[in-house]
Amino acid sequence: MTTYENPIEVVPARDRGAIEEWLVDKMASIANLSRDEVDVGRPFADFQLDSSVAVSVTNQLSVWLDRELPITLFWEYPTIAVLAGALPGLALPLREATHQPSASRLGQ
C-alpha cells in the first residue's frame, strides 16, 4: 500500500465524463487514432501504452487532476471506462506545490 504525506481528499471537480474525455484524447494521440476510433472498453495496451508511456500519462493525469496517482494506475484500472469510473471516487492526496519559496526568501 502506498503511503502519502499529503492530505487525502476525494478527487474533485473532474467527473467521470471529463476524465473519460481526457483519456480518450490522450489514447487517440498516443495511438495516432481519431477520437471515434478509441473504444473505452479496450485495454490500454491496445493503444500502445507501454510502461514508459504509462508513467508519462500518469504524471500528466496527476497534474490535470491535481492529485498524486499511483504509478501502477493503468495496470490496476486496465481500460478507459474502468479508470474513468473509479477515479472520481478515489481518495487521493493533493499534489505538492511545485513552486515553493526557498528558505532564504522565507525570512524576507
Name which residue leads in pLDDT, 96 or 24.
24
pLDDT of residue 11 exceeding 50: no
Structural domain contains residue 1: no
Gap between the Cα atoms of 55 and 74, Å rounded: 9
Closest CA to 58 of 99, 23, 24, 96: 23
C-alpha grid cell, residue 74: 493503468
CATH number of domain containing 37: 1.10.1200.10
Q: How would residue 94 be classed by pLDDT, with cut points 50, 70 and 90?
A: low
The pLDDT of residue 76 is 93
Structural domain contains residue 101: no
Structural domain contains residue 102: no
Average pLDDT value for the chain: 80
Structural domain contains residue 3: no
Structural domain contains residue 31: yes
Domain that holds residue 59: 12-96
Structural domains in the chain (count)? 1
